[in-house]
Each structure stands twice: as structure tokens, then as C-alpha cells.
Chains A and B, each alone.
Chain A
Amino acid sequence: MSVTRPRGGGIIAFTFFMALLLTILPLPEWAGPYRPSWVVLVLIYWCMALPTRVGVGVGWLMGLLLDLINGVLLGQHALALAVVAYLATLLHQRIRVFPVWQQALTVLVLVGLSQMLVLWVLGVTGAVPRSWDYWLPSLTSMLLWPWVFVILRDVRRRFGVQ
């Protein structure tokens, strides 16, 4: 394998930035609980596509930003996203060859796992959400994965991010 020089770090940063924007974009009241975990979706994609560049460290950093922007306890999303990034890089060779619906199921599991880790932290600090709506982001993330995947893949190819 020839030496590939890292390129397009700005593009990766930009996609994470867009994900953060989408995370705090105002939605109508009823749609709030359905908001997918954009940052986790983008993180899973880059961990899968470029595991040598985006991994646990980037996941942790994005989690920290997510904590800040949501105004929650510092470190809870950082913890969850670091674990998700670890698993995604570990499984990247399998996820890559899955058909897209199977990838979506993997995304469901990974986003669900991140939510469960956050839920544990919330439980320890005594701020447990009482409704089952809490788990809706996992479902919407799964349903949106095919589109996120296609868009990010096209972005990666167009700009030659490697």
C-alpha cells in the first residue's frame, strides 16, 4: 500500500461543525425529542471510513463540545462518544462491507449505547428523564443513517479526504 498523506482535515472538521449546528437548531416543540444524534452519526461515519484519522480522541473532544453546547455535566457525552468511537474503529472493516440496512442496525446499537452511557451518568447525578421519549434519537438516527452515509461518502470522494 502506497503512502497516503492525510488530506482534507478541514472537511472533517466542517462536517462535525454542521452536526453541532444541527444539534442546536431550533425545532418545533413536538419534534424536539425526535432529533437524531447528528454528532454521533458523523462520528461513526468517519471512524468507519478513516479509522486512522478519526478515533477515540476526536470522539472524546466532540463529546466535550456537545456537553458544553447542551449545558449538561461536562464529560458525560465525552465518555459516551469515546466508547462509540472505539467500537466503530474496532468494527470498521465489518461495518464497511455491510449492506446499508445492516449498517443502520449497527448505528441503532451504537447510538443506543451512547444514550445508555449518558443515562447512567444522569442516573448517578439524579436527573433521570422519566419518559420513554428519551430513546427516540436512537431510532431516528437509524432511519436517517442511509442518507447521512451517502451524503458523507459523496463529500469524502468529492474532496478527496483520506
Chain B
Amino acid sequence: MRLILLIVLSVVLMTMDHRLAQMAHVRSALSLVLAPVQYLVNFPVVAGRWFTEGLSTRRDLIAENANLKAEQLLLRAQVQKLEALESENRRLRELLHSGSRILSERVLIAELLAVDADPFTHQIVLNKGSRDGAFKGQPLLDSQGVMGQVVEVGPITSRALLITDASHAIPVQVNRNGIRAVALGTGAIDRLELAHVPDTADIRPGDLLITSGLGGRFPPGYPVGTVAEVTHDPGQAYALITARPSARLDRSREVLLVWPRMQTAPVEAETGTAPEERESGPDGAGGSGEPAPEGSG
């Protein structure tokens, strides 16, 4: 009977999709079929923005232009300072005989397609795919911090998982003193949890969490979130620490796809399978570049 046959087929399909890495190619091919639907749904949003831009008054445009110029001036000034710091950093590292860390990464601006996914998973759809060089596991930033990583690449679209998804984890470091931890997504868009942090760790509300770069997937030094609350429950083995993501996960439209260049990574991440292996064992490995000052406070 057809129903039985199709049920069996579904179960086989689910098992294959869950277990086999090769299914990613099938998905990527099939996503091409649905890309037109996604672009079509996105179209009214694009058209609306085009209209508002086309109909904005001259005065508004002049004001916006002035604002942007002021902001650019400010950012330029900061970049100048940063360049000086970068060269100083490189000089100091050379003095210490440790390899210099490359601070600049190649980035590409991608735009979100206005597409709603399942409300219970935190995924977004981007308008860049393998044609633009996106790859599975690629980090995703916005102007404020880390947003997530690409999990599925089609030829002209790709799908990314946000750091707040319940299945996502990202290795982080407290900016103030270098304590390492893993930030887990909770399924709530404004909440991360730090896993397995001892009660005695020096983490306070307001601390900035940055990527540690230890997983080999995210480039080091980008803001992930700020610690919101630290609870010490005597009945629990670890402290319960929640953080608020820095990136505007539910508001950003333009995002940055990053090609990380890390000194610890021996090869450029190109294949879809290699990052899986490097992901394992995020702690302990690669301590060369991390000074980890414990008693700086």
C-alpha cells in the first residue's frame, strides 16, 4: 500500500538526513528549487524599502548624509588608533617570539531574506550561497557581535543558525580576565547560558564575553554577549550564568560572512567535513596564544 511505502520512505529519509553527511549535497540541490519562493516572499520588503528610499525628502537625505559623514569621521579616528595599536601589538609579539595574530579577516556582506522559519528554531536565510564562496560552518557577524554560523549552503541561498538556538554552543572568554567558557543557546532570543563554570570563577554581571577562537570555527576577539546574571546555588555543582547576546539577532538585516584566518588553524576551512573534527575538544588545545592571566583583578 502506498501509505505504508511512503511512511517507510520518510523514515529512511529522516535517518539518512540525520546520519549521513552526504545528504547536505542533496539538500543544497533541493534548496535551489525553493529559492525562488524565498526571493518572492522577500520581494515586498525590498519593494517597500525601495519606495521609502525613493520618496524620502531632500532634507532627510541631507540630514542622513551629514550623520553618516560624522559617523565615518569618528570611525576613521578609531581605526587610526587601532592601526597604531595593531602595529605595536605585532612589534611586542615579535619581541616575545610569538607569531603575530592577523587581525584582518576577509568579509562579505550578506542580506537576510525576509523569510520566517520555524518559530522554535533560531535560523535565518541569507542571500549568499556557495556561488559567493560561503561554506558550511562559516561564522556570521553583525556590527555589534557574533550572530551565528552557516549550517546549510545552497547555490544562491544559505541557512544560518543563531547563537541563541538551543542546539548551538560557542567557545567564549571573559574579556576582563580571560576565563574560558562555552556559551550555550537557550532557545530564547535574548539569553545565553555559560556551561560548567565553577562557583569560584571570577565572572561578574556586566563582563564582556568575546570569542576565544578555540573551537577553530569562530575568529577570536569578537564580542558575543555581556553577562547579565550570576547565580550561585549551593545545590548546583556549577554557577548559573546567563548572558545577553551583543549582536542584534532579531533586528539586523545586513550581516557579515567572515573567512577566518587563524594562526592555530593549519588549513583554510574549505571542506564541509574538516571543521567537524577541529570542533571537538574546544578547551585545553591551542594554549599558545592565550596568556590566561588568572589573577589580574
Chain A, residues 29-72, CB within 8 Å of chain B (1/0): the string is 10011010000000000000000000111001001010011111
Contact A73 B17 (CB under 8 A): yes
With beta carbons under 8 angstroms apart, the residue of A24, A73, A74, A83 that contacts B38 is A24
Between A26, A27, A32, the greatest number of chain B beta carbons within 10 A of the residue's beta carbon is seen for A26
Closest to B2 in A: A56
Question: Inside 8 A of B38's CB, which chain A residues have their CB?
Answer: 24, 69
Considering the chains assembled together, what is the distance between the CA atoms of A79 and B5 in angstroms? Answer: 11
Chain A, residues 71-94, CB within 8 Å of chain B (1/0): the string is 111111011001100100000000
Contact A71 B159 (CB under 8 A): yes
Of residues 16 through 30 on chain B, the ones whose CB sits less than 8 Å from some CB of chain A are: 16-18, 23, 26-27, 30
Interface size class of B (residues with CB under 8 A): 35 or more
Question: Inside 8 A of B23's CB, which chain A residues have their CB?
Answer: 74
Contact A32 B3 (CB under 8 A): no
Chain A, residues 109-146, CB within 8 Å of chain B (1/0): the string is 00000000000010001010110011000000000000
A1 at the interface (CB under 8 A from B): no
A25 at the interface (CB under 8 A from B): yes
Give B117 Cβ to nearest chain A Cβ, in Å.
Answer: 6
Contact A60 B10 (CB under 8 A): yes
CB-based A-B contact count at 8 angstroms: 99
Contact A75 B10 (CB under 8 A): yes
**Given A82-B3, A83-B7, is A29 in contact with B250 using a C-beta cutoff of 8 Å?**
yes
Contact A129 B13 (CB under 8 A): no
Contact B6 A78 (CB under 8 A): yes
Question: Inside 8 A of B119's CB, which chain A residues have their CB?
Answer: 32-33, 35, 133
A13 at the interface (CB under 8 A from B): no
Closest to A125 in B: B18
A20 at the interface (CB under 8 A from B): yes
Question: Inside 8 A of B127's CB, which chain A residues have their CB?
Answer: none
Considering the chains assembled together, what is the distance between the CA atoms of A150 and B5 in angstroms? Answer: 33
B121 at the interface (CB under 8 A from A): yes
Contact B18 A73 (CB under 8 A): yes
Considering the chains assembled together, what is the distance between the CA atoms of A141 and B67 in angstroms? Answer: 47
Binding site for A on B (CB under 8 A): 2-3, 6-7, 9-14, 16-18, 23, 26-27, 30-31, 33-34, 37-38, 40-41, 45, 114-121, 123, 125, 152, 159, 166-167, 187, 250
Sample (26) of A-B pairs whose CB atoms are under 8 Å apart: A21-B40, A24-B37, A24-B41, A24-B116, A24-B117, A26-B116, A29-B250, A32-B116, A32-B119, A35-B119, A56-B2, A57-B2, A63-B10, A68-B27, A71-B121, A71-B123, A71-B152, A73-B14, A75-B10, A75-B13, A79-B6, A79-B7, A79-B11, A121-B14, A127-B166, A129-B120
Binding site for B on A (CB under 8 A): 17, 20-21, 24-27, 29, 32-33, 35, 55-57, 60, 63, 65, 68-76, 78-79, 82-83, 86, 121, 125, 127, 129-130, 133-134
14 further A-B pairs in the complex, CB-CB below 8 A; given A73-B17, A74-B16, A79-B10? A24-B116, A26-B41, A26-B114, A56-B2, A70-B117, A71-B152, A74-B23, A75-B14, A75-B17, A78-B6, A78-B13, A79-B6, A79-B11, A133-B119
Name the 4 nearest CB pairs between A and B, nearest first: A75-B13, A79-B10, A75-B14, A32-B119
